[in-house]
């Protein structure tokens, strides 16, 4: 309720032990050896009613997406379309991603060292970049350097509200998709609902695709519509809308928050910042041998993973429902239908896995560890979820974040622009407030310690 779920779960487990009943139908487990059981690979522990709250209303009915559905067949089917057309070969989109980063750099240069609200700018960048991959052109947030249609702020509001309402789904079945409730809410002009804007935008884009001869290039839109089935069958049309909707909404916010986290960790730790900036700036494309490219990629991945380990973008436990027959957890019987979760916050701080300094941001741990330790750290790394419902966009997201962090850091220096530090809230997705930084040309700050 108050945006500090990770810390509260940690307190509850400290007080009551590794298995805690946190609500009438909710149980939290802190021991990470249960991760492969609860987040299994065969759809045994399914998603529950928490996810219904995230379904948008489309054509008068709740739209079950790859993210929200508890039906393995629908999940598999929609996921296949996403994988084949966008996520299996993220490198095909490197041109679009690089271009988006260049626009970000241009805009920070235009800001001429002024203080900027970085946690908003990462949303502008991620929304624009994701829009480019999904639809083939830019939304225009970066160019205007503001949330010109209110979609970013309505996105944050709706995710926050859905996370809280999702804890009591019986009180508000299918909130975003509840016609009466949403009809009432939407009668207020200022009601924030990005799903309406997005669904309208998608239908407009499909119409333009079918009626105009302009090219939508490499985009998911072009790929999904290429067989023309959506013109002949309503189901195929609805499925195209569904996939385009999810590809945008599942990706943009997560990437924005994760990027903010990475920069936050680097700014807090000047040792890592300086080391990384040196590595990035001392390697031009001309020096790259196969070995150095692999090493640099490992270092980049280590910095990103470590930041996302310490500050996971979704820290409240990811919920799954106990299947028929119940589950015996170390002598406690958990009934069928109970909502179970393992807080990522705790899995990421397990000292038996990450070492005595598990609390601290230290990217080197991923580079120094032997293969067995890396394997167990990876098993505990829950930032992208786990099991058959884990994130399908992980590779694309890593590529986007690598491109952003290292292209930006290659050209620019970043520092706090205020003596006060950002604050955070974590309902479902981490939110940062008052994240004021300034970017300057990298050369002007060489030698900073
Ligand atoms: C740093 C960025 C990202 C993070 C931290 C992240 C995190 C997550 C997490 C934790 C889940 C599991 C949620 C749950 O079980 O409730 C998930 C699922 C998902 N993610 Fe991501 N994600 C990121 C980027 C992306 C991108 C770029 C896409 C591209 C489309 C994407 C698409 C999805 C989809 C479709 C699912 C649902 C998969 C399913 O239920 O089978 N994500 N993500």
pLDDT band at 234 (very low <50, low <70, confident <90, very high): very high
At residue 426, the pLDDT reads: 85
In the predicted model, what is the mean pLDDT of residues 312-317?
Answer: 81
pLDDT band at 313 (very low <50, low <70, confident <90, very high): confident
From residue 160, alpha-carbon distances to 1, 59, 233, 340 in Å are 10, 25, 36, 21
Tell me the torsion sign for CA atoms 200, 206, 210, 212. positive
Least confident of 265-269, 317-321, 443-447: 443-447
pTM of the model: 0.93
In the predicted model, what is the mean pLDDT of residues 71-99?
Answer: 93
Q: Nearest C-alpha to atom 23 of ligand 1 is from which residue?
A: 254
At residue 285, the pLDDT reads: 53
Q: Nearest C-alpha to atom 3 of ligand 1 is from which residue?
A: 254
Measured CA to CA, the distance from residue 141 to residue 238 in angstroms comes to: 28
pLDDT band at 363 (very low <50, low <70, confident <90, very high): very high
How does pLDDT run across 286-298, given as a tens digit for each residue? 555 555 667 778 8
Query: Which structure tokens are listed for 242?
Result: 């569904």
Q: Provide DSSP, 292-334.
A: HHHHHHHHHHHHHHHHHHHT-SS-SPPPEE--TT-EEETTEEE
* Interior angle at CA 362, CA 126 and CA 349, nearest 5: 85
Least confident of 36-40, 147-151, 312-316: 312-316
Is the pLDDT score of 51 beyond 80?
yes
How does pLDDT run across 391-400, given as a tens digit for each residue? 999 999 999 9
At residue 447, the pLDDT reads: 44
pLDDT band at 314 (very low <50, low <70, confident <90, very high): confident
Q: Is 391 annotated as a binding residue?
A: yes
Instruction: Give the single-character DSSP code of 85.
Output: I
Q: What is the mean pLDDT of the chain?
A: 89
At residue 446, the pLDDT reads: 45
Report the nearest atom of ligand 1 relative to the CA of 247.
Answer: 30
Measured CA to CA, the distance from residue 445 to residue 449 in angstroms comes to: 10
Q: Mutation test of ligand 1: which of 393, 400, 403, 429 has the most ligand atoms closer than 8 Å to its C-beta? A: 393
Neighbours of 21 (CB within 10 A): 14
User: Beta 430-433 vs 339-341: how paired, if at all?
Assistant: unpaired
Query: Which structure tokens are listed for 123?
Result: 């949303």
At residue 432, the pLDDT reads: 93
Phi, psi of 414 (to 5 degrees): -130, 140
In the predicted model, what is the mean pLDDT of residues 53-59?
Answer: 86
Is the pLDDT score of 307 beyond 50?
yes
* Interior angle at CA 344, CA 339 and CA 349, nearest 5: 140
How does pLDDT run across 322-334, given as a tens digit for each residue? 999 999 999 999 9
Provide CB contacts within 8 A for 172, sequence distance 6+. 53, 165, 178, 181
- Contact, 407 vs 379, CB < 8 A? no
pLDDT band at 448 (very low <50, low <70, confident <90, very high): very low
At residue 164, the pLDDT reads: 76
pLDDT band at 81 (very low <50, low <70, confident <90, very high): very high
Measured CA to CA, the distance from residue 274 to residue 292 in angstroms comes to: 19
SS3 content of the chain, % helix, strand, coil (to 5): 60, 10, 30
Question: Which residue, chain included where needed, has tokens 């560890």?
Answer: 369
At residue 305, the pLDDT reads: 97
CA dihedral 401, 407, 412, 415 (to 10 degrees): 20
Beta carbon of 392 within 6 Å of any ligand 1 atom: yes
* Residue 25 or residue 179, greater confidence: 25
- Taking the domains of the chain in order of start, what are their residue ranges? 5-427
Beta carbon of 75 within 6 Å of any ligand 1 atom: yes
Is the pLDDT score of 429 beyond 90?
no
What does CATH list as the number for 5-427?
1.10.630.10
Largest CA distance in the chain: 65
pLDDT band at 208 (very low <50, low <70, confident <90, very high): very high
Report the nearest atom of ligand 1 relative to the CA of 82.
Answer: 30
Measured CA to CA, the distance from residue 310 to residue 434 in angstroms comes to: 20
Is the pLDDT score of 421 beyond 70?
yes
How does pLDDT run across 104-120, given as a tens digit for each residue? 999 999 998 899 999 99
Of 393, 98, 84, the closest CA to residue 223 belongs to 84
């Amino acid at each position: 309720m108050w945006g500090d779920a990770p810390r509260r779960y940690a307190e509850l487990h400290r007080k009551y032990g590794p298995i805690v009943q946190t609500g009438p139908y909710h149980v939290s487990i802190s021991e990470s050896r249960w991760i492969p059981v609860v987040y299994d690979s065969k759809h045994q522990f399914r998603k529950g009613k928490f996810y219904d709250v995230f379904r948008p209303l489309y054509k008068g009915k709740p739209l079950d997406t790859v993210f929200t559905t508890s039906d393995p067949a629908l999940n598999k089917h929609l996921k296949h379309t996403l994988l084949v057309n966008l996520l299996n070969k993220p490198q095909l989109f490197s041109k679009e991603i690089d271009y988006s980063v260049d626009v970000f750099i241009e805009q920070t240069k235009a800001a001429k060292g002024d203080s900027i609200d970085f946690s908003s700018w990462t949303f502008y960048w991620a929304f624009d970049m994701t829009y480019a991959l999904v639809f083939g052109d830019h939304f225009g947030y970066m160019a205007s350097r503001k949330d010109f249609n209110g979609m970013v702020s309505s996105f944050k509001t709706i995710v926050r509200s859905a996370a809280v309402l999702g804890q009591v789904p019986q009180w508000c079945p299918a909130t975003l998709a509840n016609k009466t409730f949403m009809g009432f809410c939407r009668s207020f002009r200022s009601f924030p609902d990005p799903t309406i804007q997005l669904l309208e935008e998608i239908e407009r884009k499909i119409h333009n695709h079918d009626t105009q001869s302009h090219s939508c290039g490499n985009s998911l839109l072009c790929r999904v519509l290429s067989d023309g089935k959506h013109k002949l069958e309503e189901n195929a049309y609805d499925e195209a809308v569904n996939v385009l909707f999810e590809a945008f909404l599942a990706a943009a916010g997560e990437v924005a928050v994760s990027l903010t986290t990475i920069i936050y960790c680097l700014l807090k730790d000047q040792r890592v910042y300086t080391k990384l900036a040196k590595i990035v700036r001392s390697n031009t494309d001309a020096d790259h041998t196969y070995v150095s490219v692999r090493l640099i990629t490992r270092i980049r991945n280590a910095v990103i993973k470590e930041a996302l380990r310490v500050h996971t973008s979704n820290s409240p436990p990811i919920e799954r429902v106990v299947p028929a027959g119940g589950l015996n957890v170390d002598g406690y019987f958990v009934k069928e239908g109970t909502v179970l979760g393992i807080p990522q916050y705790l899995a990421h701080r397990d000292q038996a896995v990450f070492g005595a300094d598990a609390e601290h941001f230290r990217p080197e741990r991923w580079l120094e560890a032997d293969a067995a330790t890396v394997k167990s750290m990876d098993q505990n790394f829950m930032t992208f979820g786990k099991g058959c419902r884990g994130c399908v966009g992980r590779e694309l997201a890593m590529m986007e974040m690598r491109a952003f962090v290292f292209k930006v850091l290659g050209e620019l220096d970043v520092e706090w622009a205020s003596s006060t530090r950002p604050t955070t809230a974590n309902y479902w997705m981490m939110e940062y407030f008052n994240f004021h930084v300034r970017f300057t040309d990298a050369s002007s700050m060489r030698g900073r310690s």
